[in-house]
Amino acid sequence: MKRFTVLALAALPVDTWAAVGDEPVNTVWLVVAAALVFFMQTGFALLESGMSRSKNAVNVVMKNYMDVCLGSMVFWAFGFGIMFGLNQTGFFGASHWLPQFSDEWSYTFLLFQIMFAATATTIASGAMAERTRYSGYLVGAIIITGFIYPVFGSWVWGGFFGGKGWLSELGFVDFAGSTVVHSVGAWCALAGIMVVGPRLGRFDPETGVARLIPGHNLNNVALGGFILWLGWFGFNAGSTLQADSSLGKIALNTHLAACAGAVGTFLAQTLTRKPVLLTHTINGSLGGLVAITAGCATMSPTYAVITGLVGGVLVIIGSYLLELLQLDDAVGAIPVHGFAGVWGTLAAGFFMEGDLFNLQQLWVQAIGCAVAFLWAFPTAFIAYWLLERLIGLRASNLDQQRGLDYSEHAERGYPEFDRLPLHKPLAG
Amino acid sequence: MDQQHVLQRRAIYTVLQEWLNEDQIIEALLVFEEHHKGKPSIAIHEYLTRIGHLFEQKMDTKHIRRRLMEVLVRRSHDLAPDPMPLLERARAKTASAVFDLKPTESQLALHCLISELMRKASVGQRKQLHEQLAKQLGKRFVNGSYDLLAQYLLSDNPQYLARFDDRALQDFFTVIYVACCEVLGPVKTDQWFGTAVHSIRQHNAEAGEQLNRFL
């Protein structure tokens, strides 16, 4: 029954929360977990910039950096109220704007949730890398953090200050956010790449075949992968919101799923006689991590391995599918966070310990996944489309030629090794 | 019909002066003469959209159209005089100027870069590049400009670049870059581009510096 205790924490009344917060160890654990989730941003920055060309590296890092800064501000000011405020309708919270709490514990909870929101936002930065204007992207990030993510979040995790989200009422289970955080971020990213279009020359204009655009620093990609993996222990185990005995199993499931994800990718690439790429392998382990996020507290390790393994395979299939559809996801964020996220959410219902293969639960999980897509994708698509029309989202050809490091930030990541001269103002 | 056409031309000349400089107005009027002559005033929006793309400006086409409609119903003496003589002079100048002007040092440096890039391409790739360039150039350059740049690419003669200012040549190089990305792929394009720039800078540092204004 412990798993249900864990799942039900988010729906406990405030006084019970205060009791949890009375234990200093819980506060310490949650702050450490929040710091680990924050550290994931480093992983994203290294992974995404490493997978981009050197002329766009600074731009990618800048987007990740500002995602945290702007995302945190926006979520603190509005997002938290929408997601966790008094939720009488089941569709959104409507209290706690610029929150002030009477207890210290709620501040800890707010800190942890801010880090989650920043994670959801940053997923789009990688997918849209190398051809998206900085200003347009940032406005998009604000919309995701301040509106798209918290509204869906309120349906699943809402009701911290009263009421309950409607998906939660249905029995939808998403322990740490395979759907709430990762899929929602991925569907926003999908909308973004559809609006912004592919990078110059990504697809052969005659055959439509995708051309490989290798990243400039695979060591950074690997380092980013490791850091994300480390941060995920805080992401999943921190979602217990208290330091209890379940942490070990959650962390173990997290670790095993990441390993299995990489193995799944390796197998998929080997069996299809494709070269075993480092980027795919790392994305495979991230796919495993995303997949286990929903069910890390409610699965046995054996099923965690299966969940991770399939997540890794799905990353490869998803990557080829996107290429087939001529959608340019620069870092493979959509297969990792979207496809593996959906699978993980379904697996959380199907492999629930003590209630295995429950088709009714699987159906509820499927509804939750579909609703996430139907909410996040069209909303983000409209937002990005409007941004493209109003302030411009796609960088001009000249800016892409020069690289966004220079055209957007007037600096280069690697000036010593750059063969191209720095642009000077036109004659004058 | 002719009277209507002259009235439209004068109205465009009157109104666009608020948004474009003299050279741009001439170019805009040449586009009007070549592609929109004889169309009813109600279709002017299509023309304005094209002009907006041509100068890469976010023109407030609604506002300009409203101004044009206002001007079109005015009495003719409120309008600027018919710019036809200006257009004829511009056409004559285009025809004769090619061999009168000499390319500058910076234009020669750009020519070196483009030649270097084109030489690296195989015959098949060059054919594809020309097809792509024809499409891309058509979107950015019109009238005589398009013809001159097409002749430049076919003849590899820097004389044809002499008529263009830095901004136009910057656009031209970007068009070449985009076409190379489409045909060769972005990775090879950046490699060739980087190698060519590096080589020019190695052999002639000043020319390398001159190139900066187009990149």
Q: With pLDDT > 90 as the criterion, what percentage of chain A qualifies?
A: 86
pLDDT number for residue A3: 39
Name the residue with higher pLDDT: B52 or B15.
Answer: B15
Q: Which residues of A fall within a CB distance of 8 Å from B106? A: 427
Which of A203, A211, A420 would you mutate first to test chain B, the one with the most B CBs within 10 A? A420
Cα–Cα distance for residue pair B203/B206, rounded to 1 Å: 9
Across chain B, what does the average pLDDT equal?
Answer: 81
Q: What is the DSSP letter of A272?
A: T
Please judge whether B201 and A421 are an interchain contact, meaning their C-beta atoms are less than 8 angstroms apart. Answer: yes
Which of A209, A213, A397 would you mutate first to test chain B, the one with the most B CBs within 10 A? A397
Nearest to A98 by CA among A77, A68, A75: A77
Cα–Cα distance for residue pair A265/A40, rounded to 1 Å: 22
- With the CA atoms of A199, A200, A201 and A202 taken in that order, what torsion angle do they form, in degrees rounded to the nearest 10? 0
**Residue type for B134, please?**
A
> What is the per-residue pLDDT across A162-194, written as a single tens digit (0 to 9) for each?
889 999 999 999 999 999 999 999 999 999 999
| CA dihedral sign of residues A312, A313, A316, A318 | negative
For chain A, the residues whose C-beta falls within 8 A of a C-beta of chain B are 53, 55, 199-202, 204-205, 211-214, 396-398, 401-402, 419-424, 426-427
Distance between A396 CA and the closest CA of chain B, angstroms: 10
Give percent helix, percent strand, percent coil of chain B, each to the nearest 5. 80, 0, 20
pLDDT number for residue B75: 64
Distance between B125 CA and the closest CA of chain A, angstroms: 13
Q: Please, which pLDDT band fits residue A18 given cuts at 50, 70 and 90?
A: low
pLDDT number for residue A428: 34
Q: Which residue is it, tokens 């005589």? A: B144
Residues 6+ apart with CB under 8 A from B204: B109
Q: Which residue is it, tokens 């979107």? A: B139
Q: Which residue of B has its CA nearest to A390?
A: B58
Q: Which residues of A fall within a CB distance of 8 Å from B137? A: none
Please judge whether A402 and B215 are an interchain contact, meaning their C-beta atoms are less than 8 angstroms apart. Answer: yes
pLDDT number for residue A73: 97
User: What is the number of residues in chain A?
Assistant: 428
Residue A367 pLDDT more than 80? yes
Name the residue with higher pLDDT: A416 or A60.
Answer: A60
- CB-CB: which of A398, A424, A426 is closest to B174? A398
Predicted structure pTM score: 0.83
Please judge whether B212 and A423 are an interchain contact, meaning their C-beta atoms are less than 8 angstroms apart. Answer: yes
Cα–Cα distance for residue pair A136/A142, rounded to 1 Å: 10
Cα–Cα distance for residue pair A67/A427, rounded to 1 Å: 37
Residue A126 pLDDT more than 60? yes
Q: Which residue of A has its CA nearest to B184?
A: A201
For residue A54, give both structure tokens: 């050197």
State the average pLDDT over residues B72-101.
Answer: 74
Q: Check if B184 contacts A (Cβ < 8 Å).
A: yes
Please judge whether B208 and A421 are an interchain contact, meaning their C-beta atoms are less than 8 angstroms apart. Answer: yes
Residues β-bridged to residue A132 = A394
State the average pLDDT over residues A248-252.
Answer: 97
Residue A5 pLDDT more than 70? no
pLDDT number for residue A6: 40
The span from the first CA to the last CA of chain B, in angstroms, equals: 46
| CA dihedral sign of residues A4, A7, A11, A13 | positive
User: What are the DSSP calls for A245-271, one per residue?
Assistant: TTHHHHHHHHHHHHHHHHHHHHHHHHH
Q: Which residue is it, tokens 């293969």? A: A357
Cα–Cα distance for residue pair A161/A303, rounded to 1 Å: 34
For residue B106, give both structure tokens: 């910076």
Q: What is the ipTM of this complex?
A: 0.85
Q: With pLDDT > 70 as the criterion, what percentage of chain A qualifies?
A: 92
Residue A142 pLDDT more than 60? yes
User: What are the DSSP calls for A17-37, one per residue?
Assistant: HHHHHHSHHHHHHHHHHHHHH
pLDDT number for residue A425: 42
Q: Check if B181 contacts A (Cβ < 8 Å).
A: yes
